[in-house]
Amino acid sequence: MAGDEPKKTDDEPDYKKWGVIVGTISGVFAILAAINTLTGFNPLKGLAPSPTSQTSASRPLAASVPRTTRTTESRPAREPARATKEPTTRAAGTTPPARPDFQVRSSQWNGPCDDKACSMSAVFRNNGDTGSGTATFFVLWPDKFSYLAQCSVVLPRTGENEFTSAGCVASSAQLQNYFRTHRGGTVRLYVKAES
């Protein structure tokens, strides 16, 4: 009989169908995320506009020209080069902020080094951006790279490619004992700068 045959309809409830669709879409996005993590390739990159393109599109083009002109005129002569780099840095987000980079240019004893203490100083050049740092002075054994005494000092805020000098006095029981037991002995000076 024709009336006794069951109708061919979907017996699945709607929520199960949606669950399969949502699960499939989630699986596709998980695969795309894994590809991006493993290879760095982003297949969805061109589908959505980037935040920077949305921002620049919402601004009138004529309004950005005078603003750039005023900014360039009010900055020192060295700044325009940085102004052209800043938007790229913000968009990429890969360039870390510049830091000072102090290098030791010369070092010297600032007086006698004896069983009381050793006075030392050094000249530093900042090869990085403006900022401050620290310097550590070491009084080394004459025949090995280990120290008898040390002292540290803060390097003052120094501009790019500028020089500064600093010094300190190092003393320790080990240094005093060395000079008492090695009359006329020599020690070495080592300086390390950190930004």
> Do 55 and 126 belong to one domain?
no
Q: How far is CA 46 from CA 49, 50, 153, in A?
A: 7, 9, 52
Q: How far is CA 15 from CA 10, 20, 152, in A?
A: 12, 9, 69
Tell me the average pLDDT of the chain: 74
Q: Say what the pLDDT of residue 98 is.
A: 84
> Do 83 and 132 belong to one domain?
no
Instruction: Tell me the longest C-alpha to C-alpha distance in the chain.
Output: 122
Please indicate, yes or no, if residue 57 is contained in any of the structural domains.
yes
Question: What are the tens digits of pLDDT across the range 144-182?
Answer: 899 999 999 999 999 999 999 999 999 999 999 999 999
Separation between Cα atoms, residue 27 and residue 6, nearest integer Å: 35
> Tokens 């803060």 belong to which residue?
154
Q: Say what the pLDDT of residue 99 is.
A: 92
> Do 71 and 147 belong to one domain?
no
> Do 84 and 140 belong to one domain?
no
> Do 140 and 107 belong to one domain?
yes
Separation between Cα atoms, residue 14 and residue 107, nearest integer Å: 81
Check residues 103 and 34 and name the one with the higher pLDDT. 103
Q: Output the DSSP codes for 100-161.
A: --EEEEEEEEEEEE-SS-EEEEEEEEE-SSSEEEEEEEEEE-SSSS-EEEEEEEEEEEE-TT
How is residue 39 written in tokens? 């290879």
> Do 73 and 109 belong to one domain?
no
Q: Say what the pLDDT of residue 135 is.
A: 97
Please indicate, yes or no, if residue 27 is contained in any of the structural domains.
no
Q: Say what the pLDDT of residue 42 is.
A: 66
Please indicate, yes or no, if residue 122 is contained in any of the structural domains.
yes
Contact by Cβ (8 Å): 109, 118: yes
> Do 86 and 169 belong to one domain?
no
Q: Which domain holds residue 112?
A: 102-194
Q: What is the pTM of this model?
A: 0.51
Q: Position 161: which residue type?
A: N
> Do 116 and 190 belong to one domain?
yes
Please indicate, yes or no, if residue 10 is contained in any of the structural domains.
no
CA torsion 108-114-117-123 (nearest 10°) is 0
Q: Which among 114, 156, 118 has a CA at the least distance from the CA of 137?
A: 118
> Do 178 and 124 belong to one domain?
yes
> Do 87 and 143 belong to one domain?
no
> Do 124 and 82 belong to one domain?
no
CATH classification of the domain holding 171: 2.60.40.10
Question: What are the tens digits of pLDDT across the range 57-93?
Answer: 333 333 333 333 333 333 333 333 333 344 444 455 5
Lowest-pLDDT choice from 17-26, 48-57, 109-118, 123-132: 48-57
Q: How many domains does the chain have?
A: 2
Average pLDDT, stretch 96-105?
88
Q: Which among 175, 187, 167, 172 has a CA at the least distance from the CA of 120?
A: 167
What confidence category does residue 3 fall into, taking pLDDT thresholds of 50, 70 and 90? low
What confidence category does residue 188 fall into, taking pLDDT thresholds of 50, 70 and 90? very high
The pLDDT > 90 percentage for the chain reads: 44
Q: Say what the pLDDT of residue 45 is.
A: 60
Under DSSP, is residue 68 helix (H, G, I), strand (E, B) or coil?
A: helix
What confidence category does residue 114 fall into, taking pLDDT thresholds of 50, 70 and 90? confident
Assess whether pLDDT exceeds 70 at residue 19: yes
Please indicate, yes or no, if residue 176 is contained in any of the structural domains.
yes
> Do 123 and 184 belong to one domain?
yes
Q: Which of 92, 124, 141 is the last residue of a domain?
A: 92
Q: Say what the pLDDT of residue 78 is.
A: 39
Assess whether pLDDT exceeds 50 at residue 195: yes
